Amino acid sequence: MSANLLRRAAAQPASTLDVERIRGEFPLLHNVRVHGKRLVYLDSAASSQMPQAVIDRLVRYRTTEHANIHRGVHYLSETATAAYEGARKIARAFVNAGDEREIVFTSNATDAINLVMHGYGRRFIVAGDEIILTQLEHHANIVPWQMLCEERGARLRVVPINDAGELLLEEYERLFNPRTKFVALAHVSNALGTINPVRDMIASAHRRGVPVLIDGAQAVPHMNVDVRHLDCDFYAFSGHKMFGPTGIGVLYGKAGLLEKMQPFKGGGDMILAVSFEKTTYNVPPHKFEAGTPPIAGAIGLGAAMEYLNAVGQDRIAAHEHALLEYATDLVGGIPGVRLIGTAKEKAAVLSFYVGEIHPHDVGTLLDQEGVAVRTGHHCAQPLMQRFGVPATVRASFACYNTFADVDALAAAVRKVQQLFA
């Protein structure tokens, strides 16, 4: 399947994406009608849909390959283990990590961040230490660090943003002091779409000897991510936002750091030897994968990465950028619509407010037109407070969205305005 896709993809001009062919590969987009209307799915930042190639891979695993991994000597167990570890190889290449041992399967990005909080934070952060975050963070990259600070008597420092939703980098530089022990920041803001200059920010932290975790949940589906080029110490992301299944995520961690970390969860598979006196832990990544993992999830995620590779991340990024520009003009141009987040570097996310109409009313009425958007605080309440709104309407785009989808969004927004006029 993937080889076939690669061939087809290569035959197309480098700058264009055959969106109709891509849409054809996502069965849900055609199977579902919403209130009698064509589904316009603009909520991929919450969870993306799954292409047939991933669904087929999951079916193949479940119907011909399933057994527990790393345990049995029988045929099926060896097959499942090879498929699971094969997914790790794909993930390593996907983010260009140097070694497979640096790829830990987790249940999602949140789980990956919590792993670092427990494994690294609880080992090395002490009273008086400071952790730098940003105003743009998802709760998943705030709450674990807050829990750690409460437990240890450490302190959170927050990088502020400007009105466009861009980080104030000079303020970031100013937050560093000898007590700074960790930096955790989003690659792409889930609520606004802002792409942060993480490579420079990582270099800055490293000049002071401070390790950096990047929450990449919103980045990996939309751009090429190279962890060695970024030189991040940790990189966390989720499978279900990049056409994979739910229940699977990845933590990339530099081998040297993973080795120094304490385990997060105890159990089977993360040990080398257990007696009631002492347990000898396994080496990374297994040290952090206690219990039977989501085997199918990992294999499905591997298939999703192959799908993204085949379509081409650069071409996806170019298509989504064109969608964003079109949507910014069309929806942002509607009188009364206020865009929240207008950073120069943005992923395909459009967060907005329609006049005085509450986002939940907008969301319910857009749904009536078949348009699925997210409304709410997007698990980023500190960010909403910064803009003085309780919530926004968020349309987020993926490679299967079309300009017609944007037209449908704009038409539906105008309809809401008419109802409330």
Site for another protein in 180-219 (CB under 8 A): none
Label the pairing between strands 130-134 and 180-186. Answer: parallel
Binding mask 365-384 for another protein (x = CB under 8 A): x-xx-------xx-------
Token representation of residue 168: 């104030």
Q: Which lies closer to another protein via its Cβ, residue 142 or residue 391?
A: 391
Strand partners, 180: 130
* Dist. CA 281–CA 288, nearest whole Å: 9
Q: Which lies closer to another protein via its Cβ, residue 34 or residue 156?
A: 34
* Dist. CA 356–CA 278, nearest whole Å: 62
The nearest distance, CB 33 to another protein, in angstroms, is 15
Work out which of 357, 386, 402, 414 binds another protein, going by CB under 8 A.
Answer: 357
The nearest distance, CB 391 to another protein, in angstroms, is 5
The nearest distance, CB 412 to another protein, in angstroms, is 12
Binding mask 217-246 for another protein (x = CB under 8 A): ------------------------------
Work out which of 198, 202, 391, 410 binds another protein, going by CB under 8 A.
Answer: 391
Rule CB under 8 A: is residue 411 a binding residue for another protein? no
In this structure, the number of other CB atoms found within 10 A of the CB of residue 71 comes to 13
In this structure, the number of other CB atoms found within 10 A of the CB of residue 398 comes to 24
Token representation of residue 219: 């980045």
The nearest distance, CB 352 to another protein, in angstroms, is 16
Work out which of 60, 199, 358, 386 binds another protein, going by CB under 8 A.
Answer: 358
* Dist. CA 239–CA 220, nearest whole Å: 9
In this structure, the number of other CB atoms found within 10 A of the CB of residue 128 comes to 11
- Of 311, 354, 373, nearest to 45 (Cα)? 373
Q: Which lies closer to another protein via its Cβ, residue 377 or residue 386?
A: 377
Helix/strand/coil for 134: strand
In this structure, which amino acid lies at residue 212?
V
Q: How far is CA 419 from the centre of its chain?
A: 36
Q: Which lies closer to another protein via its Cβ, residue 34 or residue 318?
A: 34
With CB under 8 A, what is the number of residues at the site for another protein?
Answer: 16
The nearest distance, CB 41 to another protein, in angstroms, is 17
Q: Which lies closer to another protein via its Cβ, residue 3 or residue 421?
A: 421
The nearest distance, CB 373 to another protein, in angstroms, is 13
Rule CB under 8 A: is residue 385 a binding residue for another protein? no
Rule CB under 8 A: is residue 123 a binding residue for another protein? no
Determine the interface stretch with another protein among 132-140, 230-238, 292-300, 356-364 (rule: CB under 8 A): 356-364
Work out which of 124, 281, 326, 420 binds another protein, going by CB under 8 A.
Answer: 420
Rule CB under 8 A: is residue 360 a binding residue for another protein? yes
- Of 255, 321, 243, 333, nearest to 287 (Cα)? 255
Helix/strand/coil for 335: coil
Quick check: bond before 382 cis, omega within 30? no
Work out which of 390, 403, 404, 411 binds another protein, going by CB under 8 A.
Answer: 390
Rule CB under 8 A: is residue 37 a binding residue for another protein? no
* Dist. CA 389–CA 340, nearest whole Å: 10
Token representation of residue 276: 């009631």
In this structure, which amino acid lies at residue 214?
I
For residue 379, indicate whether it is catalytic.
yes
Rule CB under 8 A: is residue 146 a binding residue for another protein? no
Q: Which lies closer to another protein via its Cβ, residue 209 or residue 388?
A: 388
Q: Which lies closer to another protein via its Cβ, residue 104 or residue 412?
A: 412
Q: Which lies closer to another protein via its Cβ, residue 11 or residue 421?
A: 421
Contacts of 349 (CB under 8 A, 6+ apart): 45, 189, 190, 191, 192, 193, 218, 324, 341, 394, 395, 396, 397
Say if residue 229 is exposed, middle or buried (CB neighbours under 10 Å; 0-12, 13-18, 19+).
Answer: exposed
Positions that interact with another protein (CB under 8 A): 35, 357-361, 364-365, 367-368, 376-377, 390-391, 419-420
Residues tagged active-site: 379
